[in-house]
Amino acid sequence: MAEAVAPKNNPKNSWGADLFTLLKRHEVRFLPFVPDAGHADLIRLAHEDNDMQPVVLTTEEEGVALACGHWLGGKKSVLLMQSSGVGNTVNMLSMLANCRFPFVTLVTMRGEFGEFNSWQVPMGRATPEVLKSMGLTVHTVTQEDQLVKTIDAALYAAYASDQQVAVLLSQALVGRKEW
């Protein structure tokens, strides 16, 4: 694979490793993703781990159907995407409601808190409502000390009681892309 160099303007976070440890503890086996800078650490750690398989997607709705398939086969997955991708998933989310599939997605927010690019704003603003209208429980994390606790609760609710949960990682937490 070609050597990739991360661009300098992506925010740097300290919690990627904590999140990864949490996902491992919950025996999450697959990480389908459409990349976002905020998920970069998690994706890198998954690539380096033998028991966690990242799955690169062409569009986010693939990840919803894929997660349903993983659970049909008895394995857990967590979908990583950014808020702009939530719009792509809408009809596929109906599968979660119809079949009551356990589901967790971690959504890094754009267009929500100190956004430079106005094109990100409409979907960022719609993201929580879109997810709620499709029946998901939505938690928003703005503070680092709430992050592991919230995602732990999301994983527990999903895989202990068939719930569908989205955790939105605010730009206040992730940091903003510098231009």
- Minimum gap (Å) between residue 108 Cβ and other proteins: 21
Q: Are strands 28-33 and 76-77 parallel, antiparallel or unpaired?
A: parallel
Nearer to other proteins, 92 or 168 (CB): 92
- Minimum gap (Å) between residue 56 Cβ and other proteins: 6
- Minimum gap (Å) between residue 153 Cβ and other proteins: 16
Nearer to other proteins, 93 or 138 (CB): 93
The CA angle 6-8-11, to the nearest 5 degrees, is 90
Site residues (vs other proteins, CB under 8 A): 29-30, 53, 55-59, 61-75, 77, 91-92, 94-95, 98-102, 159-162
The Cα 169–Cα 38 span in angstroms is 9
Q: How many residues does the chain have?
A: 179
E strand map for the chain: 28-33, 53-56, 76-77, 79-82, 103-108, 137-141, 164-169
Nearer to other proteins, 53 or 146 (CB): 53
Nearer to other proteins, 118 or 161 (CB): 161
